Amino acid sequence: MSRIVILEERCKGCRLCVEACPVKVVRPSGRFNRQGYEVVEMDGKCTGCASCAVMCPDAAIRVFKSAGKSREGAGA
Amino acid sequence: MTSANDLRPRPGEKLVFDVNPVLNERVTHYCPGCHHGIAHRLVSEVLHELGVAHKTILVASVGCATFTYDYFNVDSVEAPHGRACAVATGVRRARPEAVVFTYQGDGDMAAIGTGESLHAANRGEKITAVFINNTVYGMTGGQMAPTTLVGQKTTTTIHGRNFSNEGGPIRLTEIMAQLQGVAYAARCSLDSVKHVKEAKKAVRRAFDVQLAGLGFGFVELLSGCPTNWHMTPTAANKRIATDMIPVFPLGVFKDVGAAEANAVKEPGNA
Neighboring chain B residues of A68 at a CB cutoff of 8 Å? 12
Q: Which of A12-21, A62-71, B155-164 has the lowest mean pLDDT?
A: A62-71
Maximal CA-CA distance, chain B = 64
CB contact under 8 A, A58 and B197: no
Q: Residue B237 and residue B258: Cα distance in Å, rounded?
A: 30
- Could you tell me if A46 and A2 are in contact, meaning their C-beta atoms sit under 8 angstroms apart? yes
Domain B28-140+171-264, CATH: 3.40.50.970
What Cα–Cα distance (Å) separates residue B70 from each residue in B7, B28, B200?
24, 8, 21
Give the mean pLDDT of B68-82: 95
pLDDT in tens, B39-63: 999 999 999 999 999 999 999 999 9
Instruction: Name the least confident of B10-24, B123-137, B160-174.
Output: B10-24
- Work out the minimum CA distance from A59 to partner chain B, whole angstroms: 6
Average pLDDT, chain B: 92
- ipTM metric: 0.87
Which of B24, B191, B192, B193 to mutate against chain A (most A CBs within 10 Å)? B193
Segment B243-247 mean pLDDT: 96
Element (H, E) at A32: strand A26-32
| Closest alpha carbon to B230 in B221, B217, B239 | B239
Does residue B29 have a pLDDT over 60?
Answer: yes
- The two beta strands, A61-66 and B99-105, are unpaired
The model carries a pTM of: 0.91
Closest approach of B229 to chain A, Cα-based (Å):
15
pLDDT in tens, B125-159: 999 999 999 999 999 999 999 999 999 999 999 99
% of chain B residues with pLDDT over 90: 87
How many angstroms away from the CA of B230 is the closest CA of chain A?
14
Whole-number pLDDT of residue A76: 45
Domain boundaries, chain B: 28-140+171-264
> How many Cβ atoms are within 10 Å of B140's Cβ, its own excluded?
12
Instruction: Give dist(CA A26, CA A45) in Å, integer.
Output: 10
